Structure 1
Amino acid sequence: MTFDEQLKLETQIYLKKSFHGLTALSLGLLLLLLLSRPVFLYREIPLSTMLLAMLPLLSIIVFFSPVNKLLFRRDDSIELLFVALFFSWLIFISSLLFYSVNFIHAATSIIDILVLAFGISLLPSRNMFFSSVVVLCAFHLGINFIYISGVDIDVWADSLRLACFVLILLAGHKVSEKWFKRAITKEVDNQRLIKELEELSTQDGLTKIANRRHFDNVINQEIAHSERTKQPLAIILIDIDFFKKLNDSLGHQEGDKCLINFANMLKNIANRPRDICARYGGEEFILLLAETDLEGAIVVAEKVKQQLERLAIAHPDSSVSDKVTVSQGIAVFKSGMSEDQLCHLADEKLYQVKRTSRNYFAY
């Protein structure tokens, strides 16, 4: 996964968790306002009016869980929920201020809390962070200047306090954004390292196909699947003829090239999702052919022989051809067989070819 993909994923995860926290905070603030209504000066606001003003907020909080299953299918859905919650708060505060100017103290306190809460919740989303903070601050200042008449409040001192608070929040956002991206960079590096280690444990270093360890793991699974479903299973053990002579005459570099080219050819032949092409050891390779009977395995063995002839890798010291050839042993799984028994049968068929003719296959 690239940095941008990981950043997008982590941002969505962070925003979803933050939205849960923000809805919980919103519910707590609403309950606090209801409980404190008889005590404070805004008690003249009818309870029915407060509950009516709370409806948009309560709708988002109460119906968030069932709705998010549908909305979260879109990448921008969580941002839409933030916007809905944000404007629900603005509508709620404006509605209560319309009924009572004495609500101004509670309103400005709530806005201060919302500036901090939305600022933290929208940390990875820079545009939404700045938009929410700017709108809330403008709303706060607007309340101060519009409702100043008859209200005992030092507007300029309050505005200066709000400005200092926002500056601190913006500085914190800049630091947190760097930390967030650095953490994602580290996560991407860790994932890449884990992937490389997994490949090293399952992949042959030279040919880049599966190694024997991976083959051993997969064949046990396929044997169990074949026993359960009664579907056929075949393997082909392949040995490059006179490979040691090729190494001795042309050198190890040419020998490595031969192994790599042959492995790539096998990978193209065994190309179904459950087929496995693995380096079994040295110049030996093995094909695992899921849901393949003897006839199908023979077709694959013929294809290996024909495509290798087309590949035409030079072999000056071969006793059977001036090109590289292979011997193949085919084994088909029978119920009750173990991995060792199946591979041993393929090995026997392979050496039957090597003893008699080479450049062919036995089954």
Structure 2
Amino acid sequence: MYTPLPSAEQLLERERLSYSVMGVKWATLLSFFLIAALCLTIYSHPNPFISLAKLSLFSIPIFVIGALGHIFFSRVSLHQYLDEFLKAYLALFNVAWLLVLVTLARSAVDSYSRTSAISGIESMVDILVLTFAIALFPDRKTMLLMVLPLMVFNVVIHLSEQPLNLVFPIVKFICFTVILYTGQQIFSRWFVQSILRNLENKKLLQQFKRLALVDGLTNLSNRRHFDDILLQEIKVTERNNRPLSLIMLDVDYFKRLNDKAGHQAGDECLSQLGQLLAQSAMRPRDLAARYGGEEFVIVLPETDIAGAAAIAANIKADIAALKLPHPDSENGEFVTVSQGVCQWRNGMSATDFTANADKMLYQAKQAGRDQFVVDEQ
């Protein structure tokens, strides 16, 4: 009746991967924007340190890898090896970016405005580091593997311009690493708490729904749920003109069982009967419910009167096989049930339908119990 919720570990892994995929798609689009902005800057500069054609040529891998990856991750939300695909994509994308950055750095070294060019490259790398740190914060290892090569590149390019100034790039590298590591811990803790809180809310909601729709003793649907489902199935039957049948059954001499063996024995009888009826309503749309007291109902969509009668016969045989003791039954030493079986007809309301099943049940009791009566009309 209810779809089981995933465990906390499964949900955390699923949400981590989902956020990482979403973050990588966002980072990919931002990378396209950075390349476009860089091309526009070079095009508008009177003396660019690299030609637009050369930059466009070395930027092709970013666009090809990025476009293919964006299309793939947009179409594939769940896959057994999605995490591996994500890491492989990031590795390729990182190499593509490093290729562009190395090309820019080499061109800047040969430029008369090398200092400002290298400063601009460092700023762009900082933007990339921040972008991928935000995009991958739930996965610390993947995030660090993505941003550390870029940060090391920044140190190298700064030292190539100012080889005697070791303090600044090293301190910057350490500060960035500490900030990213601690920031990731803080955001990851918030992320985990948010996911776990959401899971707890779903569990509470499912529990409330269960309390509202399930009978606590038998674990079958309760009367309220039965009424709702029956109305829905009648509407479906009216639309598609397919058969719909109903079985109503009652434990024979149940009051005597309670009086003689005690209420605990009566509850145990109802509980085992509930398990048996749940197995009888095996198809996805079949519904077994506790109608009230010792009365039960089974809704059988896509089932004609002959099929419902066969199920009633199976229930009678299965209950006999259970051999539940009954110390004060006129039908023998074991628990038996009476059943009324009917099929929905055009114009019947839900009340008429259940009343007809109850009428058949009454006839079964009048005929001596431990049997089922089928409405042949």
Task: Give the TM-score normalised by the residue count of structure 1.
Answer: 0.92
1:91 aligns to 2:99 (yes or no): yes
Residues in 1 aligned to 2:43 and 2:325: alpha-carbon distance in whole angstroms: 96
Rate the CA distance shift 1:42–1:12 in 2: closer, same or farther, 3 A: farther
Structure 1 stretches of 4+ with a deviation exceeding 4 A read: 38-42, 60-65, 69-73
CA shift, 1:212, in A, is 1.5
CA shift, 1:105, in A, is 1.4
Out of 73, 80, 89, which is 2:88 matched to?
Answer: 80
1:12 aligns to 2:17 (yes or no): yes
Aligned to 1:129: 143
Residues in 1 aligned to 2:46 and 2:15: alpha-carbon distance in whole angstroms: 44
Out of 171, 184, 189, which is 1:178 matched to?
Answer: 189
CA shift, 1:324, in A, is 1.0
Residues in 2 aligned to 1:196 and 1:73: alpha-carbon distance in whole angstroms: 28
Contact 1:72 1:78 survives alignment (8 Å): no
Residues in 2 aligned to 1:111 and 1:354: alpha-carbon distance in whole angstroms: 84
Residues in 2 aligned to 1:72 and 1:48: alpha-carbon distance in whole angstroms: 37
Aligned to 1:115: 129
Contact 1:240 1:325 survives alignment (8 Å): yes
Aligned partner letter, 2:182 = A
Out of 198, 208, 220, which is 1:197 matched to?
Answer: 208
Residues in 2 aligned to 1:8 and 1:82: alpha-carbon distance in whole angstroms: 18
Residues 88-113 of structure 1 deviation map (CA, whole Å, 9 limit, x = unaligned)? 21111111222222232122111222
Contact 2:90 2:146 survives alignment (8 Å): no
Out of 64, 82, 91, which is 1:59 matched to?
Answer: 64
- Aligned partner of residue 317 in structure 1, secondary structure: strand
Contact 1:289 1:297 survives alignment (8 Å): yes
More displaced, 242-251 or 136-145?
136-145
Contact 2:214 2:225 survives alignment (8 Å): yes
1:359 aligns to 2:364 (yes or no): no
Contact 1:71 1:78 survives alignment (8 Å): no
Contact 2:246 2:342 survives alignment (8 Å): yes
Contact 2:223 2:292 survives alignment (8 Å): yes
Aligned to 1:160: 171
Aligned partner letter, 2:93 = L
CA shift, 1:356, in A, is 3.0
Alignment of 1:1-363 (within 5 A): 1-37=6-42, 43-63=48-68, 65-70=70-75, 72=77, 74=79, 75-76=82-83, 77-101=85-109, 102=114, 103-148=117-162, 154-363=165-374
CA shift, 1:310, in A, is 1.1
Aligned partner letter, 1:49 = K
CA shift, 1:69, in A, is 4.2
Residues in 2 aligned to 1:41 and 1:118: alpha-carbon distance in whole angstroms: 32
Aligned to 2:3: none
- Aligned partner of residue 123 in structure 1, secondary structure: coil
Rate the CA distance shift 1:73–1:283 in 2: closer, same or farther, 3 A: closer
Residues in 2 aligned to 1:131 and 1:81: alpha-carbon distance in whole angstroms: 12
Residues in 1 aligned to 2:309 and 2:146: alpha-carbon distance in whole angstroms: 68
Contact 1:42 1:100 survives alignment (8 Å): no
CA shift, 1:85, in A, is 2.8
Aligned partner letter, 1:13 = S
Gaps of 5+ in 1: none
Aligned partner letter, 1:90 = L
Contact 1:246 1:317 survives alignment (8 Å): yes
Residues in 2 aligned to 1:254 and 1:73: alpha-carbon distance in whole angstroms: 49
- Aligned partner of residue 37 in structure 1, secondary structure: helix
Residues 217-273 of structure 1 deviation map (CA, whole Å, 9 limit, x = unaligned)? 222222222222222111110011111111111111111000000111111122122
Aligned partner letter, 2:40 = L
Contact 1:45 1:96 survives alignment (8 Å): yes
Residues in 1 aligned to 2:86 and 2:239: alpha-carbon distance in whole angstroms: 45
- Aligned partner of residue 112 in structure 1, secondary structure: helix
- Aligned partner of residue 43 in structure 1, secondary structure: coil
CA shift, 1:319, in A, is 2.3
Gaps of 5+ in 2: 1-5
Aligned partner letter, 2:24 = F
Residues in 1 aligned to 2:193 and 2:130: alpha-carbon distance in whole angstroms: 23
Contact 2:246 2:299 survives alignment (8 Å): yes
